[in-house]
């Protein structure tokens, strides 16, 4: 080169020389000619349409809060053309088949509308279904993110079978036939030997009866759920009052909305409830929230009561006492519907219960309602605002204001507790009971703007041909020590196995990641690895997870738009059903391309449980000798299995009132109607149904006094009536002077979906880290600032995480979102590198376990360019591993709140994400809590294991309720 400025020719020549150098690698084709459209292997592609149509008037939905949305009208759903937003600034028309389905990313069952490209049958997007009575066309972020899950580069596309040791991470692809035959054979072997060897452990149920029918048909006591780490506490509280175990607040019509914790924003019922709460607020309703954390909900409430966890009942009873003292409760409602006479007759004399007032019992010996009123005042007279303020550490003015608002609500008081305090505290079930006491006092039970029960607002059609109840009782699920539990003691399965209570022959985990989501995960690790105790582990899952890594089969199951399920949910004071559909299959069938099995239409060989269960059950009993096959036979041709069309056609024709008529009005079959709209409104509103039916309690009344509690070994005042119970994390049990704190781990950032958010890139971009919230006063004491590491010592181990210093959490408490901290054991399998950390497990052989992070989140290359754009590294810390189990002796709930024995600045050897646990301590804590139980063996009033009237997800025969002849531990 000369020394002068570079000429254009020089410059171009230099470039051309560089690009011709060997190794430049310029021969990769830019544009190929073949079409690729398999999810998991390529980004979807879409065809172009002719823009010949005239514009279509959109369907307008006028929301109650004054906003309006517009949607494609249903009559055009079969053939919808719209501009491609991503092709902008070009105007590219795309032609879609719009197929309704139901979201699967929480249990609200909101309606989704899939836009399926009519050329490639790829799913373009998910939007809201305006016909859906619960969600009314709206969705939270999790619904549209279903698209991420379906086109996740790391999704499991084919059935996998373990080929190495459990957890070694070696897999081979197998056919569905091979998997079905092998699993069915093992199930048959188990079923021939016993009725408690098959266990179906469900995480996200997402449907209302189908699988339960299958398990019942197998004749085994095999249903295990996640309920005890979720909602058991609240369920017991509500069930004791009403016989129904879930509340259904009519937020939209409420005058006052009282929330325990932050349901509105933590993902539970988020969308259907949030939109109705906003409606009510727009109309002038007041919102009261009890939460030690300044959640989004609390921040938007009229009144935030940052109560110390476990003190909620004291506040609620102070409000109740205020109403009682002022006689400002609904006397007529109480007189008619509360079992006050039973309380007066049977309550006095029980431990802690006061005697009747001397004035009680008139001349004829009859106890009057007025006697009850006097007794009520005596019972609750000790609860005052001052006492509540002291117990809760909340300014008394706010409690007084809450009482004033509740008093003014009349019959329009909508209340809700589900997780939060009810699942956080020992005795949390009493929080729900005390909360609903306010509904009872105000007469706002089942009223417009009041609080109903789920059974009134949820419609579950009868299944096709119900098999008889099984005669079996699985001691690993409902052992005799917890006769009142709601329901199975699922999180204790590894502890029970370790104790030698039994074994499992075939263990299904279904959209469930027990090692990660439960407390005490290393106990799960030990159980999942033990092939003598867990015989065959089949993971039915749409995504990789920590537990599936230790399975024998990993069977890919569909996301929301890839499966059949029927769901209803108590979103408001009406009733509806929603039909989840495999949307590509439906679109193909609309186009005249028949599909036999859903896995033919889904990506790869991804299937759905509904068809899988039929095929599996058929092969489990090929000759019908076990009496199973008959329940899975086609009604048209019993020599072959029933199809999904046959099953749902029967259900929709025979057990959904009004649906056949609505379908006929459109000249459709009921099935075709449901395939078209994806939902059906059974009842527009359903208020005070108890006027006709009474309540589902033994007395038929609202049971302020619970004879069941008395009869089953809990006769004390604090158990038989709404009353505060001492939490394991009450101020007296947390020695703050010694540096102890309360760890609040049971809140969730609103975009998280348990395990499955880690397969939704949009959601993880929003929230991927779970730092420890800590108050500035505590941070100052410890000497940490936001972003620095702390080591949190629990009862069984410790973890290391960053802190987030904020006044949004109460002093003395640290808080940490769950549903984050995913990890994997192989760099290229088992999870997304951008959403999970590469980890290493170590153990000392004596119970000591460690999880160390080798690599935090990172970008990676895939067909999706977004994976190369991961900008975050912190994917959270798996705190649950360090949580000791806390089984409530009555509800069986795992009481999530943890005692942090110490919280200190991390040392030089601590690394972000480190976890260490000693499972010997795990068993010790388990035994401490186990000692609190009162076994049915000692307390059953009638020789049964459990009150017959209490719910079980699958109820066996009455004979199966007999106490065990050889109860474990006796």
Partner 1 sequence: MTLAQDPSQDPRVLALAYSRLYAVLARALLRGVDARMLAQLRELDWVGPGDGLEQLATQLHATFELGVFPYAGVFLDPDAQAGACADRVRGFYARAGFSPRPVNAELAPDHLGVELAFMAFVSRAHADGRLGPSSPLLAEFLDACVLAYLPSLVIAARELGEGAWPTMLNELLELVAAQRATLPGPRAAPSLCPAQALLDDARTGLREIAAYLLTPARSGVFLTRADIAALARSRGLARGFGSRLTMLDNLLRGAVEYGELDKLRAGLDELLARRDHRLVELDQRLELGPAIEPWRAAIARTRELVRALHRAPSRDRADPWTSKPSTTTPPAP
Which uninterrupted H or E stretch holds 112? Answer: strand 111-117
Site string for partner 1, 119-138 (x = CB under 8 A): -x------------------
Nearest to 237 by CA among 249, 229, 228, 247: 247
Q: Report the relative pairing of strands 160-162 and 123-128 from DSSP bridges.
A: unpaired
Q: Is 28 in the site for partner 1 (CB under 8 A)?
A: yes
Contacts of 927 (CB under 8 A, 6+ apart): none
Q: Determine which residue in the list 8, 363, 665, 931 makes contact with partner 1, applying CB under 8 A.
A: 8
To the nearest whole angstrom, how small is the minimum distance from the Cβ of residue 593 to partner 1? 19
Where on the phi/psi map is residue 467: left (φ > 0), alpha (ψ -120 to 50), or beta?
beta
To the nearest whole angstrom, how small is the minimum distance from the Cβ of residue 4 to partner 1? 14
Residues 910-969, interacting with partner 1 (CB under 8 A): none
User: Across the strands, what pairs with 713?
Assistant: none
To the nearest whole angstrom, how small is the minimum distance from the Cβ of residue 94 to partner 1? 9
To the nearest whole angstrom, how small is the minimum distance from the Cβ of residue 18 to partner 1? 6
Distance, CA of 946 to CA of 958 (rounded, Å): 10
User: Does residue 379 sit in helix, strand or coil?
Assistant: helix
Strands (E), 552-692: 553-556, 565-567, 575-580, 679-683
Q: Determine which residue in the list 32, 68, 358, 636 makes contact with partner 1, applying CB under 8 A.
A: 32
Which uninterrupted H or E stretch holds 511? Answer: none
Distance, CA of 207 to CA of 579 (rounded, Å): 9
Q: Are 893 and 233 in contact (CB under 8 A)?
A: yes
User: Does residue 882 sit in helix, strand or coil?
Assistant: helix
To the nearest whole angstrom, how small is the minimum distance from the Cβ of residue 310 to partner 1? 46
Q: Are 59 and 89 in contact (CB under 8 A)?
A: no
Size of the site for partner 1 (CB under 8 A): 45
Q: Determine which residue in the list 25, 55, 365, 594 makes contact with partner 1, applying CB under 8 A.
A: 25
User: Does residue 421 sit in helix, strand or coil?
Assistant: helix
**DSSP of 131-199, one letter per residue?**
T-TTTTT---TTTTTHHHHHT-TT---S-EEE-SSTTS--EEE--HHHHHHHHHHHHHHHHHH-SSSEE
Q: Please give the backbone phi and psi of residue 108, each rounded to the nearest 5 degrees, phi first.
A: -70, -20
Q: Determine which residue in the list 58, 868, 924, 959 makes contact with partner 1, applying CB under 8 A.
A: 868
For residue 198, the Cα-to-chain-centroid distance in whole angstroms is: 23
Q: Which parts of 740-895 fold into alpha helices (H)?
A: 761-766, 776-782
Site string for partner 1, 830-859 (x = CB under 8 A): -----------------------------x
Q: Determine which residue in the list 3, 5, 9, 639 makes contact with partner 1, applying CB under 8 A.
A: 9
To the nearest whole angstrom, how small is the minimum distance from the Cβ of residue 16 to partner 1? 4
Q: Is 56 in the site for partner 1 (CB under 8 A)?
A: no
Q: Determine which residue in the list 41, 47, 346, 781 makes contact with partner 1, applying CB under 8 A.
A: 47
Choice between 32 and 732, CB closer to partner 1? 32
Q: Is 42 in the site for partner 1 (CB under 8 A)?
A: yes
Q: Single out the segment in contact with partner 1 by CB under 8 A; choices: 12-20, 299-307, 560-568, 589-597.
A: 12-20
Q: Is 869 in the site for partner 1 (CB under 8 A)?
A: yes
Nearest to 486 by CA among 246, 718, 694: 246
CA distances from 302 to 263, 285, 559 (A): 16, 9, 38
Neighbours of 778 (CB within 10 A): 23
Choice between 4 and 26, CB closer to partner 1? 26
To the nearest whole angstrom, how small is the minimum distance from the Cβ of residue 474 to partner 1? 51
Q: Determine which residue in the list 3, 284, 865, 907 makes contact with partner 1, applying CB under 8 A.
A: 865
Q: Please give the backbone phi and psi of residue 671, each rounded to the nearest 5 degrees, phi first.
A: -65, -45
To the nearest whole angstrom, how small is the minimum distance from the Cβ of residue 51 to partner 1? 11
Report the C-alpha dihedral over residues 140, 142, 143, 147, rounded to 10 degrees: 140
Q: Single out the segment in contact with partner 1 by CB under 8 A; choices: 4-12, 522-530, 821-829, 878-886.
A: 4-12
Q: Is 68 in the site for partner 1 (CB under 8 A)?
A: no
To the nearest whole angstrom, how small is the minimum distance from the Cβ of residue 556 to partner 1? 24
Q: Is 34 in the site for partner 1 (CB under 8 A)?
A: yes
To the nearest whole angstrom, how small is the minimum distance from the Cβ of residue 121 to partner 1? 13
Residues 84-103, interacting with partner 1 (CB under 8 A): 84, 86-87, 89-92
Q: Single out the segment in contact with partner 1 by CB under 8 A; choices: 214-222, 455-463, 534-542, 868-876.
A: 868-876
Q: Are 474 and 481 in contact (CB under 8 A)?
A: no
Q: Single out the segment in contact with partner 1 by CB under 8 A; choices: 14-22, 155-163, 546-554, 771-779.
A: 14-22
Q: Is 738 in the site for partner 1 (CB under 8 A)?
A: no
To the nearest whole angstrom, how small is the minimum distance from the Cβ of residue 1 to partner 1? 8
Nearest to 884 by CA among 795, 818, 799, 819: 795
Q: Is 24 in the site for partner 1 (CB under 8 A)?
A: yes
**DSSP conformational letter for 424:** H
Contacts of 87 (CB under 8 A, 6+ apart): none
To the nearest whole angstrom, how small is the minimum distance from the Cβ of residue 832 to partner 1? 17
Choice between 28 and 844, CB closer to partner 1? 28
Choice between 869 and 920, CB closer to partner 1? 869
Q: Single out the segment in contact with partner 1 by CB under 8 A; choices: 21-29, 282-290, 597-605, 945-953.
A: 21-29
Structure-block tokens of residue 392: 């809760």
To the nearest whole angstrom, how small is the minimum distance from the Cβ of residue 45 to partner 1? 4
Structure-block tokens of residue 142: 């999790």
To the nearest whole angstrom, how small is the minimum distance from the Cβ of residue 89 to partner 1? 5
Residues binding partner 1 (CB under 8 A): 8-20, 24-28, 30-36, 42-43, 45-48, 84, 86-87, 89-92, 120, 859, 861, 865, 868-869, 871
């Amino acid at each position: 080169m000369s020394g002068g400025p570079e000429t254009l020719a020089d410059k171009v020549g230099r470039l051309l020389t560089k690009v011709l150098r060997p190794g430049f690698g310029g021969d990769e084709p830019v544009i190929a000619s073949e079409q690729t459209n398999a999810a998991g292997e390529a980004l979807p592609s879409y065809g172009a349409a002719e823009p010949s149509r005239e514009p279509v008037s959109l369907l307008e939905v006028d929301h109650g809060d004054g906003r309006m949305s517009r949607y494609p009208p249903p009559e055009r759903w079969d053939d919808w053309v719209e501009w491609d937003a991503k092709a902008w600034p070009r105007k590219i028309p795309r032609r879609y088949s719009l197929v309704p389905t139901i979201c699967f990313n929480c249990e609200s069952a909101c309606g989704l509308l899939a836009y399926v490209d009519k050329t490639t049958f790829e799913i373009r997007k998910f939007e809201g279904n305006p016909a859906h009575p619960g969600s009314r066309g709206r969705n939270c972020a999790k619904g549209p993110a279903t698209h991420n899950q379906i086109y996740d580069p790391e999704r499991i596309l084919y059935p996998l079978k373990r080929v190495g040791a459990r957890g070694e991470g070696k897999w081979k692809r197998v056919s569905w036939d091979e998997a079905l035959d092998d699993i069915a054979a093992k199930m048959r072997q188990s079923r021939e030997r016993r009725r408690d060897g098959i266990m179906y452990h469900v995480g996200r149920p997402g449907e209302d009866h189908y699988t339960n029918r299958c398990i019942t048909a197998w004749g085994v006591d095999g249903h295990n759920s996640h309920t005890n780490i979720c909602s058991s506490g609240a369920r017991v509280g509500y069930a004791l009052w009403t016989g129904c175990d879930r509340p259904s607040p009519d937020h939209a019509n409420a005058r006052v909305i009282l929330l325990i914790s932050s349901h509105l924003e933590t993902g539970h019922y988020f969308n259907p409830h949030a939109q109705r709460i906003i409606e009510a607020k727009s109309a002038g309703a007041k919102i009261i929230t009890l939460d030690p954390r300044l959640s989004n909900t609390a921040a938007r409430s009229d009144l935030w009561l940052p109560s110390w966890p476990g003190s909620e009942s004291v506040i609620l009873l102070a409000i109740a006492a205020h109403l009682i003292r002022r006689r400002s409760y609904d006397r007529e409602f109480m007189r008619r519907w509360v079992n006050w006479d039973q309380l007066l007759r049977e309550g006095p004399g029980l431990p802690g219960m006061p005697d009747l007032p001397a004035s009680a019992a008139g001349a004829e010996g009859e106890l009057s309602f007025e006697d009850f009123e006097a007794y009520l005042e005596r019972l609750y007279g000790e609860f005052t605002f001052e006492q509540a303020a002291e117990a809760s550490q909340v300014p008394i003015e706010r409690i007084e204001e809450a009482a004033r608002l509740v008093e003014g609500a009349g019959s329009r008081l909508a209340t809700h507790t589900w997780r939060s305090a009810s699942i956080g505290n020992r005795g949390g079930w009493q929080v729900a009971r005390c909360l609903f006491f306010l509904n009872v006092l105000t007469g706002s039970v089942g009223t417009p703007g009041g609080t109903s029960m789920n059974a009134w607002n949820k419609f579950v059609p009868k299944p096709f041909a119900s098999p008889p109840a099984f005669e079996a009782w699985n001691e690993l699920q409902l052992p005799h020590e917890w006769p009142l539990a709601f329901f199975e003691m699922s999180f204790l399965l590894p502890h029970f196995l370790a104790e030698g209570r039994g074994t499992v022959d075939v263990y299904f985990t279904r959209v469930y990641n027990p090692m990660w989501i439960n407390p005490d995960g290393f106990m799960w690790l030990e159980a999942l690895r033990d092939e003598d105790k867990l015989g065959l582990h089949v993971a039915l899952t749409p995504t990789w997870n920590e537990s599936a890594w230790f399975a024998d089969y990993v069977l890919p199951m569909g996301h929301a738009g890839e499966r059949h399920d029927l769901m209803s949910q108590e979103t408001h004071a009406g009733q509806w059903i929603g039909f989840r559909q495999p949307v590509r299959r439906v679109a193909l069938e609309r186009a005249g391309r028949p599909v036999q099995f859903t896995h033919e239409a889904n990506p790869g060989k991804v299937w759905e449980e509904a068809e899988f269960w039929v095929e599996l059950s058929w092969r489990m009993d090929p000759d019908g000798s076990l009496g199973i096959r008959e329940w899975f036979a086609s009604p048209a041709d019993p020599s072959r299995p029933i199809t999904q069309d046959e099953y749902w056609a029967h259900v929709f024709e025979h057990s959904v009132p009004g649906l056949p008529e609505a379908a006929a009005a459109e000249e459709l079959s009921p099935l075709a109607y449901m395939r078209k709209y994806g939902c059906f409104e059974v009842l527009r509103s359903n208020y005070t149904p108890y006027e006709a039916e009474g309540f589902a309690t033994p007395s038929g009344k609202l049971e302020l006094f619970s004879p069941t509690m008395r009869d089953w070994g809990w006769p004390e005042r604090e158990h038989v009536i709404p009353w505060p119970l001492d939490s394991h994390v009450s101020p007296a049990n947390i020695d703050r002077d010694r540096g102890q704190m309360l760890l609040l781990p049971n809140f969730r950032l609103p975009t998280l979906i348990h395990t499955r958010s880690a397969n939704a890139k949009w959601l993880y971009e929003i929230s991927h880290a779970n730092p420890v919230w800590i108050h500035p006063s505590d941070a100052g004491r410890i000497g940490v600032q936001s972003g620095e590491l702390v080591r949190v010592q629990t009862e069984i181990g410790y973890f290391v995480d960053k802190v987030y210093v904020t006044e949004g959490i109460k002093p003395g408490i640290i808080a940490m979102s769950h549903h984050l901290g995913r990890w994997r054991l192989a760099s290229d399998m088992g999870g997304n590198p951008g959403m999970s950390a590469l980890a290493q497990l170590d153990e000392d052989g004596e119970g000591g376990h460690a999880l160390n992070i080798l690599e935090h989140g990172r970008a990676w290359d895939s067909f999706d360019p977004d994976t190369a754009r991961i900008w975050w590294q912190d994917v959270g810390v798996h705190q649950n591993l360090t949580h000791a189990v806390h089984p409530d002796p009555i509800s069986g709930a795992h009481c999530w709140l943890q005692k942090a024995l110490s919280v200190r600045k991390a040392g030089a050897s601590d690394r972000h994400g480190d976890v260490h646990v000693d499972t010997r301590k795990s068993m010790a804590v388990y035994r401490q809590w186990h000692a609190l139980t009162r076994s049915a063996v000692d307390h059953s009033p009638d020789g049964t294991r459990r009150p017959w009237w209490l719910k079980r997800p699958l109820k066996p025969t009455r004979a199966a309720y007999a106490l065990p002849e050889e109860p474990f531990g006796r």
